[in-house]
Amino acid sequence: MAGDRTRLRFTGHIAGAGTAGGTRLVLGCWTRTPWGPFADVMAALPDGRRVLLAPAERVAEFVAATYAFDEVRIVPVAVHRTGTGAGSGWRVRAGGPEGGAPVLAWDFEVGRRTALGALLRAVPPPLARTAAFCRAVDPLARRVVPGVRTYGTAGAGRTEWYAASDLHALAASRAAWEGADLGALRPVASDPAFGFGSTPPAPSLTALTSTVRLG
């Protein structure tokens, strides 16, 4: 794919969790992208607003053109983690004034690898990342994990495919939005409606490569 400017590839992790207060959170923590490492957060609030927290204008423009939001905020998004597997801890802080409360403070602990995660690890990565493979397994993925897509259309006439390589449950999560506690960990329900695919309904951390073909 070297030199192909019509395809952009992002490799990293997506964490998704619901809360007792009704807020649904999706973190994208990307280690390899066309623009270097970055993290962004999609939040679906109880009042129905969909908010994107992005660290830079270029990231915000791309993500907002690919998915659907009611509000976009350009704020620092910092992720500190002790690992990626079971027992690791993640600390997410997004936005907020110097010395003040961040827009989002989210801490979660990664739990066991799921049965689906073990299955995903058995697929050779070069095959898993191809559009043909993701398109072929999309109908099965939608039946096995409702709300999840591996291939489909996104905003601005784009096509996107997800090549997941691992899946862990979240064992614990605590989050606050603009200083207000969001409540205990819950499934991601209902669908946050950001567009294309959501995270699995069960709170989880997915290792994946996302490829976007521009329209």
Q: Please name which of 173, 170, 167, 172 lies closest in space to residue 121, comparing C-alpha atoms.
A: 167
Give me the mean pLDDT over the 19-33 stretch: 96
Q: Please name which of 56, 59, 52 lies closest in space to residue 10, comparing C-alpha atoms.
A: 59
Q: Give the pLDDT confidence score for residue 2 in this predicted structure.
A: 41
pLDDT at 3 over 50: no
Q: Please name which of 180, 147, 163 lies closest in space to residue 21, comparing C-alpha atoms.
A: 180
pLDDT at 82 over 80: yes
Helix (H) or strand (E) holding 43: strand 38-44
Phi (first) and psi of residue 157, to 5 degrees: 70, 20
pLDDT tier, 98 (very low <50, low <70, confident <90, very high otherwise): low
The model's pTM is: 0.92
DSSP letter assigned to residue 114: P
pLDDT at 47 over 80: yes
pLDDT at 93 over 50: yes
